[in-house]
Amino acid sequence: MSRSLKTGGALVGFGVLLSQLGHLLVYQLQFGTRAQLVQSTGAHSYFPTLVKTSLGLGAAAVLGSLLVICAARFVSRGRGRTVGGGPSYLRLLGALFTIQLAFFALQETIESMAAGSAVASAPHLLLMGSIGQLPVAIVGALALKWLLVRVEAAVTEIRVAVASIPEPISAAAVVVSVWNHHVLVYRAITAASRAKRGPPFYVRFSLN
């Protein structure tokens, strides 16, 4: 899998997860103390479960990335490779914000249609979505850039460490090697024994 595909997959996944945090912020600004009640009733009744799932998946992804980084530091014994600059922060921010905003607008439209109410206008969705999603995207892009750079370097370090491990010798190879050694030793001993004996001695009798 190429680097661009990995980065694109990470962007889409983080964008969808972070959009739920932006959604929470939008409703908090819109409804104040009633935000939690609005987001857990009617067409929004699914939202608390979705938020918990998103937070759980995000935490699992971050924890998994940290474990990979720690494993790389362990196998390299602290001699990590130089970490490159990674993807551009502004590009990550723009991509995350676009994904979050699009998912927020889609989510709001589906909720309105499910509730049988009028769908909010595009300017309203754009304004409210930008207010809620942009701050989350700013922080999310920073975290994602850090993770992408560190995890990529960690994976490279682990691959180098694994490639340097010598391949195990099979039991059959050991048996064949020992057998050949014994055969060579036996042949050497036999040859030495024959050399010490010398030519046969004949006794000649005369009847004269």
| Whole-number pLDDT of residue 193 | 57
Positive or negative, the Cα torsion across 109, 113, 115, 116? Answer: positive
pLDDT digits (tens, 9 = 90+) for 116-140: 888 888 898 899 889 989 999 999 8
Q: Cα separation of 88 and 111, whole Å?
A: 35
pLDDT digits (tens, 9 = 90+) for 178-196: 455 555 555 555 555 555 5
What average pLDDT values come out for the chain (208 residues) when binned by 10 residues?
A: 68 88 85 76 77 81 80 69 69 92 91 84 89 91 84 74 64 52 54 55 46
**Tokens matching residue 190:** 């036999």
